[in-house]
């Protein structure tokens, strides 16, 4: 391997320590930032993420509430839960873990969250603020974490060609919006590719910074990567592996070994983007608590 490893675990920890210091400062003003995480159903990966979010919150000195609702919960019950959290002064930020069970209207659910508590940044009001470059927008945690990782690793985005593979509302679209903004971690030229893009390898090979968020195990191979590119792997996929006690292994959307041989820097999975996402969620919760003081 020749690529430098971008250590999301260490960078995420540093951000969490910064957040913890700010939380301690707010405590002197009598404010304890509170985050509520709502999980509907039993999706195993979501359960892991939700547990990690709650634990990180507590470690930063924040108030943490996790609400687990059964798979059979009606949409009206979920909306009523959101209304209750919207009205709860101890809760400054909330998120509803996605994906929601089949039959639920995610758009309707996300719109019900008070935009001032929408620490995921998925409410249309925050999406609009992000697109227009309003600094009070909550930035979705995964792309925000990737941007911080680039900044803190000294990777220049200004003038760089960033190619994003995947156009989701959670990663691809907000990532593009962050990278084209003016300022640190911005000023990039951005291409967004997706399942209908023609000749994908010819596009990805143009990337100085390649961000892969497509949800397919080891999809991005070395032939898709220009020598010296920075590669950010957003995927976390479970692949059957009978040799492991738990029966599976985790891998990203990038074929790590072969791509690490051509890239100049790469994120591992796990330990890359994931810990940055959690750190930025805490940062957004802190931002929500600070905003509530002036509201």
- Residue window 248-277: x/- pattern of binding to ligand GUN, with contact defined by CB under 6 A: ------------------------------
Alpha-carbon gap, residue 169 to 123, rounded angstroms: 11
Q: How far is CA 206 from the centre of its chain?
A: 24
Nearer to ligand GUN, 121 or 262 (CB): 121
The structure tokens listed for 222 are 């070395």
- Residue window 125-164: x/- pattern of binding to ligand GUN, with contact defined by CB under 6 A: ----------------xx----------------------
Number of residues engaging ligand GUN in binding (CB under 6 A): 8
Q: Is 253 a catalytic residue?
A: no
Alpha-carbon gap, residue 56 to 282, rounded angstroms: 8
CB of 95 to ligand GUN, least distance (A): 4
CB of 147 to ligand GUN, least distance (A): 14
The beta-strand segments (E) located in 145-212 are 161-165, 189-193, 209-212
CB 271 within 8 A of CB 8: yes
CB of 83 to ligand GUN, least distance (A): 18
Q: Which of 46, 45, 35, 106 is nearest to 75 (CA)?
A: 106
Separation of first and last alpha carbons in the chain: 51
Nearer to ligand GUN, 236 or 265 (CB): 236
The structure tokens listed for 170 are 């959670």
Alpha-carbon gap, residue 102 to 106, rounded angstroms: 10
Nearer to ligand GUN, 35 or 255 (CB): 35
Tokens 């990966």 belong to 45
Nearer to ligand GUN, 141 or 289 (CB): 141
Q: Is 32 a catalytic residue?
A: no
CB 113 within 8 A of CB 94: yes
CB of 31 to ligand GUN, least distance (A): 24
Residue nearest to ligand GUN (CB): 98
Is 18 buried (19+), middle (13-18) or exposed (0-12) by CB count in 10 A?
Answer: middle
CB 120 within 8 A of CB 95: yes
Q: Which of 170, 211, 254, 266 binds ligand GUN (CB under 6 A)?
A: 170
Nearer to ligand GUN, 170 or 188 (CB): 170
| Residues within window 90-129 making contact with ligand GUN, judged by CB under 6 A | 95-98, 120
The active-site residue, picked from 97, 147, 181, 287, is 97
Q: Is 28 a catalytic residue?
A: no
CB of 201 to ligand GUN, least distance (A): 27
280 binds ligand GUN (CB under 6 A): no
CA distance readout (Å), 81 to 51, 88, 289: 19, 11, 20
Q: How far is CA 275 from the centre of its chain?
A: 9
The active-site residue, picked from 22, 118, 120, 233, is 120
Residues marked as catalytic: 53, 97, 120
Q: Would you tell me which residues interact with ligand GUN (CB under 6 A)?
A: 95-98, 120, 141-142, 170
């Amino acid at each position: 391997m020749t690529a430098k490893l971008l250590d999301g675990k260490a960078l995420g920890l540093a951000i969490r320590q910064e957040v913890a210091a700010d939380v301690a400062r707010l405590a002197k003003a009598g404010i304890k930032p509170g985050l509520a995480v709502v999980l509907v159903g039993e999706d195993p990966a979501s359960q892991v993420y939700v547990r990690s979010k709650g634990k990180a919150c507590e470690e930063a000195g924040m108030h943490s509430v996790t609400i687990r609702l059964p798979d059979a919960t009606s949409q009206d019950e979920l909306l009523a839960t959101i209304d209750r959290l919207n009205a709860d002064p101890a809760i400054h930020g909330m998120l509803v873990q996605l994906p929601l069970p089949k039959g639920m209207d995610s758009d309707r659910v996300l719109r019900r969250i008070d935009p001032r508590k929408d620490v995921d940044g998925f409410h249309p009001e925050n999406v609009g603020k992000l697109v227009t470059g309003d600094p009070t927008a909550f930035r979705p945690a995964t792309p925000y974490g990737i941007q911080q990782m680039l900044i803190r690793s000294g990777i220049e985005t200004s003038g760089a060609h960033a190619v994003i593979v995947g156009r989701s509302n959670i990663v691809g679209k907000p990532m593009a919006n962050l990278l084209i903004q003016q300022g640190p971690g911005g000023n990039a030229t951005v291409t967004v590719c997706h399942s209908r893009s023609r000749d994908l390898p010819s596009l990805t090979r143009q990337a100085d910074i390649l961000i892969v968020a497509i949800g397919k195990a080891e999809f991005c191979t070395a032939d898709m990567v220009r020598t010296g590119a920075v590669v950010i792997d957003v995927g976390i996929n479970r692949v059957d592996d009978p040799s492991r006690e738990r029966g599976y292994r985790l891998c990203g959307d990038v074929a790590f070994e072969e791509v690490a041989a051509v890239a100049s820097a790469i994120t591992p999975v796990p330990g890359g983007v994931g810990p940055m996402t959690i750190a930025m969620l805490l940062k957004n919760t802190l931002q929500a608590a600070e905003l509530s003081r002036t509201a």
